[in-house]
Structure formats: structure tokens, C-alpha cells
Amino acid sequence: MSEHTLENPKDFVLAGKAIFTVENEKTGNRFTYKVKQAENKDDGPSKVWFVSVLNGPDNGSNYAYIGTIFGNNFYVPTLDFRLTKKSTVTKDAQSFKVFSWMLKHNLILPPFVKVHHEGRCGRCGRRLTVPESIKNGLGPECAGKTSTQKWSEAAEASKKFTT
Ligand SMILES: [Zn+2]
């Protein structure tokens, strides 16, 4: 399995169907997460993502649910990561702490924290082949269509509306 380091983890992580490994080069710690966006039929300003962590040797099936990201974009986009009843970890678990820390920093991470994807599109899961797509972790059909990209478009549009 080859890995690719993401330049802009935020769009990828919240693209809808993302699998990635977060690596802290100072401590050597690493976690592989899966972040799946809930079906959003009305495509409104509220969005929800379910976060799981890889906890076994089978990277196809050994994922355990740890918490939910609640996203709101009514005025300013906010992301809130919380434990829910079905979480398989506590707030003291390192996998939960690392993900909370990433969200608290709005997925803008220091240089020693690397986010790698596995060569598949973060939005649709298809294998990436174009070098430009591998850089962003998003295929040509999905680039520009992720939640965060739509949010920034909406923010731009509302600016125009109010001025
Ligand atoms: Zn795609």
C-alpha cells in the first residue's frame, strides 16, 4: 500500500468517504481514520460525519466508531467533534484526543503532523491516477464538490449578498 501526503487535509478529510493516516513525526504515533459523511438529502447548512479508527490488522474491516463531527455553516463554519452513545472509546483514548485536536485546529496542522491518503478519492473512493488528483486526494469529478468547498462558496455568495 503506497501512501500520499496531503497538502490540504481539510477538503479531503471532510470529502465524504475519506480514509487517511495521521502521523506525528515527533512522537512516531499514527492513527488511521475513516470519516464518512451522513447522507444529507436537503444539502442544508448542517452536516454530520461519522469517525472510525482502525484498531486491528485488517484495514478493510477493523474500524471502530469513535465519534461524530457536527458541522454548521449558518454564519461561520464550525466543526464540533463529540463522543456519542455508540462510541467505542472514551474521551481519554489517544485516537479520540488526536482527532479532537485536529478538529480544534480546523484541520490546519503543524508541519510535523502529516496526513496520508491511500490513493483513493476522499469523496467517492475511486482509485486516483492523475498526479494532480493524488496531490489533493480528490478525483477530477469530485474536486470542487466537497462540503468544505461548497461552504466557502456559500460564504462568498452571502458576502456578495450583504454588501
Ligand atoms: Zn471522486
CA of 141 to the centre of ligand 1 (A): 6
CA of 127 to the centre of ligand 1 (A): 8
User: What is the predicted pLDDT for the residue at 103?
Assistant: 92
CA of 136 to the centre of ligand 1 (A): 11
CA of 14 to the centre of ligand 1 (A): 13
| Residue that has been written with the C-alpha cell 469529478 in this structure | 141
- Whole-prediction pTM value? 0.89
Rounded to whole angstroms, what are the CA distances from 30 to 47, 88, 122, 132?
Answer: 27, 19, 19, 25
CA of 12 to the centre of ligand 1 (A): 10
CA of 124 to the centre of ligand 1 (A): 4
d(CA 31, CA 22): 5
CA of 149 to the centre of ligand 1 (A): 14
Average pLDDT by consecutive 10-residue portion of the chain (163 residues)? 81 94 95 91 76 89 94 79 96 96 92 95 95 93 84 73 60
Q: Which amino acid is at 17?
A: K
CA of 125 to the centre of ligand 1 (A): 6
- Residues contacting residue 18 through CB under 8 Å, at least 6 positions apart: 12, 33, 34, 35, 36, 117, 122, 123, 137
User: What is the predicted pLDDT for the residue at 42?
Assistant: 62
13, 35 Cβ separation under 8 angstroms: yes
What cell was used for 75? 454564519
User: What is the predicted pLDDT for the residue at 119?
Assistant: 95
Give me Rg for the CA atoms of the chain: 16
CA of 158 to the centre of ligand 1 (A): 27
CA of 92 to the centre of ligand 1 (A): 34
| Domains in the chain: boundaries | 4-162
